[in-house]
């Protein structure tokens, strides 16, 4: 039986994309998982070259990715929804009545969000090299965390869909 996983971030052009494509890259064709991503405030826009280039360095092409907004339909058709940040988890709880785990909660057992660039570096425009290093470090963290996340997926999917509060 195929089980579906949905990663959620803000714009669906950075963290959730890195998680979706990193997990997909590590799955075999016989994998029981279908993986997608969405954003709570996604609009049609291209993935920033820093993100796409870092993923390309890992052998992952994202050129066909189209950002999409989180909807009730997406929520209903996935067995496990994984939030990248606290604001995403809170949004899903308020909008859809579901409690969902954070990426780092599954991969590392830590209640720690993966911060967006503006959250980690509020004045990121003043130091673009530091901003780029941060974005690349987040992608590297997600990439390196995928084996641990994959190992924990059966446990989290065992619970199936999160239950209403």
Torsion of CA 26, 6, 130, 113, to 10 degrees: -110
20 φψ region: left (φ > 0), alpha (ψ -120 to 50), beta (else): alpha
As a 3-state breakdown, the chain gives helix, strand, coil percent values, each rounded to 5, of 50, 10, 40
DSSP 165: -
Q: Are 37 and 20 in contact (CB under 8 A)?
A: yes
> What residues act catalytically?
9, 15, 116
């Amino acid at each position: 039986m195929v089980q579906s996983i949905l990663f959620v971030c803000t714009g669906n052009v950075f963290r959730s994309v890195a998680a979706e494509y990193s997990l997909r890259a590590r799955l075999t064709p016989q994998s029981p998982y279908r993986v997608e991503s969405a954003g709570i405030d996604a609009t049609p826009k291209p993935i920033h070259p820093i993100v796409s280039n870092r993923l390309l360095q890992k052998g992952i092409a994202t050129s066909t990715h189209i950002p999409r907004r989180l909807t009730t339909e997406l929520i209903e058709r996935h067995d496990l929804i994984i939030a990248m940040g606290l604001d995403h988890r809170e949004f899903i709880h308020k909008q859809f009545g579901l409690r969902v785990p954070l990426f780092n909660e599954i991969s590392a057992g830590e209640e720690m969000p993966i911060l967006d660039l503006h959250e980690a570096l509020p004045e990121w425009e003043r130091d673009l090299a530091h901003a780029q290093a941060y974005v690349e470090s987040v992608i590297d963290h997600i990439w390196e965390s995928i084996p641990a996340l994959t190992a924990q997926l059966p446990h989290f999917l065992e619970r199936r869909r999160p239950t209403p509060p």
